[in-house]
Every structure is written in structure tokens, then in C-alpha cells.
Chain A
Amino acid sequence: MPSDDPQLNNLIRECSDTIAEVYEACVASQPNFGVSSDSFTESVTDSVSKFLCSGQENPPSADEVREFVRSIRSDDLFLAIACAEGNERAWWEFDHQHRGYLERISRHLASTDLSAQEVIDLVYVELYGTRVVDGVRMSKFATYSGKGSIRGWLRTVIWHALVDLHRASHDEVSLDGMTENVGEGYTHSTFKNKDLGGEDQMIDHLAHEKYRKATLDSIRTSFSSLDDHEKLLLLYYHSEGLKLREIARLAESPGSPLRDWFQRRSAAREKDPSARIHESTIMRWLDKTYKLILERFCSELSGKHGLKQEEIDVCLELATRDLADPDIYRNLASNAG
């Protein structure tokens, strides 16, 4: 069934030679999966719509669509389509290739009160699909786009199955509470209360509030001035507690935009694009970014809020004391709103 978007349908028609080429290669590799050219094209069209059209200002060019079609994990997608359609050989192949992996992930993630076997059963049921809409069985496989590996996709399916099982067994529980019991979890480091020499009696409450508001406003503005890559990496590091090697892992794939982005910031890596992005690269990037934000922060405090150097030091000192009470930022933010 073609898409509702006529522009997308035209693009797909324009790229039909590339889609046919990829489809033929899949059929040659797995002739017994029974996937028709139409269902393959429909699935590719959904993937193009999702990644190249949705949330984008401009529609993609035909060349971009061709590049996208060549970039998808066509063998994995072909397998997923066949499994969604209930092809027995495809299911056998899936079981042969991925069941061991699925079991290892489930055993790794399942805690003492969650049985790994329960998770595996639930995942198989979801993959097969028990809900029928307009006579069509809704298999989870139909949500796989081929953009990532099928194993990466399976990890998210298992993770979500685990969340569902945990919620079912613990009534309502927050995501944070759940992840403390699943896998590594994430921990908030405790705020340190630095002893900076006691209260300065010369600064009264109103002055404190003024400095706090200026500090919050300037942090917010300097952080907002970063591009999304930078913001996300800082949030991963500080808010989610990801380790440097975990962030480096994000930039490991040769086609990753994060990898390109780090490379553009390093002359040495531009010369050798295949060089690994190490934890030290991330650390250096973090150091540079802290300096950049601090410069912008100080310039906001002096420019927009008209504070002198001594007052900026007061802001830093007050903010450091406030680390013992992180709610102060939340309260200030809600008052400002």
C-alpha cells in the first residue's frame, strides 16, 4: 500500500531501481522467505518517511533516498518482514541466529524477582503479535525499520518487555525506580557541600537571591548557546551518569554523525578518519566545553546582569554552597517561570 504522502510516493517511484536492486539481493540470499516486492517497498517507504521526512524542514532529495535505501540493514529488514508475515523459515532463521543472544540479554537484565524465561516468553509473544487489527496480526517485527541492527532493536524490545513486567509486578513504579533494579542502573552522585569559610554576613538575603537568579539565568543561557550534540553529551555525562567510554562508544560507528563531529574538532583525526575516538578525546572535549560555557557564563553575568568580577565570584561561591540543596535551582526556576 503506497504512503498517504504523494511527494514521498513520487520519490519512492524515482528510486524504485535502487529498491529493486536491494530487494533482489535479499531474495537471492533468502529465496524462501516469501517476501513480496510490494511489502518490501512498503516497509522501505515507511522507513524513509520516518527518518528522512518526519521532523525535517525540507523533503529529502532522490539521491538522499537512494543513499538511505543502500544504508539500511536489508538482510535484517527482509528477515523482520518475513517474520512479521509469519513465514516459518524466517522464524526458524531468526531463532537460529538470535535466540541465544536474546536469552543472554534477558538473563543479564532480569533481576532476582524477574524471571528471564518470563521475559523471553513475553518478547516472543510480542514479536509474533497477538493483536489483530482489520484482519492483520500486529507483529512487533513490523516496527523494525532496518536502520539499526536487528540485535540493537531486539535489545530495546527486551528492555521494554522488562519494564512492562516490572511494572506489572510492582503496580506503578517510576522509570528511575525500575532501572535501579534492572541492569547497571544509574546513580545520582551526592552533592558535595564545600566548606568555603562560613557565611558572609555582609551580603543580605535579597542580594543572595539576586545573585542566585543571575547565576541560574546565566547558566541556562550559556548552556542553551551550545549545539544539540554538545548539550546531549553533557546531559549524558552529568544527568545520566554515562562514563566516558560509554560516550565514546556512541561515536564509534564509522557513519556516526557524532564521530564526524568529533573529527571536525580534531586536526589529527581529520587526517586519519579511521582513528578510534578514545575516552581521552571525550575528556579533552569536555574540558574545552567547560571553559567555553564558563566564559559565556561570566560574560552573561557581566554583560546582561552588569556584575563586577568580585560579584561573579560571589555568584560562584553561592552556587557552590547551594549544591547542598539542589532544590534551590528548581525553586528559582519555578519562581522565574
Chain B
Amino acid sequence: MNNKGIDRDELFREILSAYLRSDIAAIEFEDRDHLDGDTIAAFVEGNLSEREARPVNSHLVDCSFCRHRSAELIRLDLEFAEESAKAPEAKPAPTKVSDVLSGILGKILGAGEGAVFAHQEDETKEEEDRKDDRGESE
């Protein structure tokens, strides 16, 4: 029996592709730790050295969950790199962060957490006032 003119290389590519898509090439790390977002982000950006990347590569080969997450982030990275190249980013005017956080935290958790941040801000202001009193400049 022969392949009746169908290119053997082409056939093999399809077979290999089916094998890789079938997930039996990978072992799910069900009971083991997955890579954290920080590690995947550094990997996707190509910021890991050979030594640092070795265990990450090895994990991504075996763990389809992390590989899938990293693939999604590679897509996102490229989409945003292309978008940024087309249109330079306009920086919004910064808002008072404590107000933003207080609003969000208040909305989600009630007033308590927002108050924590506002208290921290007060402390910062008090410290600045003390510096001003002492004549220290920034």
C-alpha cells in the first residue's frame, strides 16, 4: 500500500499535528504548582536567561494549563505592541489615587477599607507637613 501521490512529509505533519493537539503529548500537572503570572509575563517578554528559562520551558511542555495561559498572553503582547506602534498612548491626567481606591473599595467592600487608604494618605500628608515645617525640600 502506498500513499498514492500524497506527499509523505505533508502527511507526517498532519499526523504530528493531530498528536500534539490530542493532549496526550502533555501531562497535566494536576497536583503540582502552576507557574505564577509574574514568571509567565517575564517568559512571554523574553526576559529570562537560559538558566532561568530552563525550568519554565520544561514546565510549559508538560503543563497544558500554563502553556495555554502563556499562549494567550503572547497573543495579547503582540496585539498591544502592534497597537502601540500605530497610535502612541495618550496619558490620562492622573487622578487622586486614594479617591479612586476609596471609591472602588467603598463600592465593593463598604467604607472600612477605603478609610484605611485615606488614613494612610493623611499620614503621608502629615509627614510632608512636618518636613515643610523643618524646611526640608524634596
Contact = CB atoms under 8 A, between A and B. Distances in A.
A100 B38 contact: no
B52 to A, nearest CB: 5
Interface string A110-131: 0000000000010011001010
B100 interface: yes
Contact of B16 (A130, A197, A290): A290
Interface residues of chain A: helix, strand, loop or mixed (majority):
helix
Contacts of B6: 194, 196, 320
A290 B13 contact: yes
A183 interface: yes
Contacts of A320: 3, 6, 11, 14-15
Interface residues of A, number: 114
A330 interface: yes
Interface string B57-81: 1101100110111011111111111
Contact of B20 (A238, A250, A322): A238
Interface in B1-54: 1-4, 6, 8-9, 11-26, 36-54
A86 B120 contact: yes
A155 B21 contact: no
Contact of B79 (A89, A108, A147, A294): A108
23 contacts: A89-B124, A95-B94, A108-B80, A147-B39, A147-B52, A148-B43, A148-B44, A152-B42, A155-B77, A159-B37, A175-B69, A191-B18, A194-B6, A228-B54, A231-B61, A242-B71, A253-B45, A256-B48, A259-B46, A313-B8, A319-B15, A320-B15, A323-B14
Interface residues of chain B: helix, strand, loop or mixed (majority):
helix
Contacts of B98: 88, 91
B47 A148 contact: yes
B16 A31 contact: no
Interface in A272-322: 290-291, 293-294, 297, 310, 313-314, 316-317, 319-320, 322
A156 B105 contact: no
Given A124-B101, A186-B72, 12 more contacts: A92-B94, A97-B91, A175-B69, A182-B72, A184-B75, A253-B45, A259-B46, A310-B1, A313-B8, A316-B8, A317-B1, A323-B14
A145 interface: yes
A20 interface: no
A46 B83 CA distance: 34
Interface stretch (A6-14, A21-29, A52-60, A164-172): A52-60
B92 interface: yes
B138 interface: yes
Interface of A: 31-32, 50-52, 54-56, 60, 64, 67-68, 71, 86-89, 91-92, 94-97, 99-101, 103-105, 108-109, 121, 124-125, 128, 130, 137, 143-145, 147-149, 152-153, 155-157, 159-160, 175-176, 179, 182-184, 186, 188, 191-192, 194, 196-197, 200, 203, 215-216, 219-220, 223, 228-229, 231-232, 234-236, 238-242, 245-247, 249-253, 255-260, 290-291, 293-294, 297, 310, 313-314, 316-317, 319-320, 322-323, 326, 329-330, 333
Contact of A326 (B22, B38, B64, B108): B22
Contact of A159 (B22, B73, B81): B73
Given A100-B91, A246-B78, A290 B52 contact: no
A206 B6 CA distance: 25
B121 to A, nearest CB: 5
Given A229-B57, A290-B9, A290-B12, A130 B105 contact: yes
A154 to B, nearest CB: 8
Nearest to A202: B1
Given A105-B80, A152-B44, A88 B120 contact: yes
B48 A223 contact: no
Contacts of B37: 143, 153, 156-157, 159-160
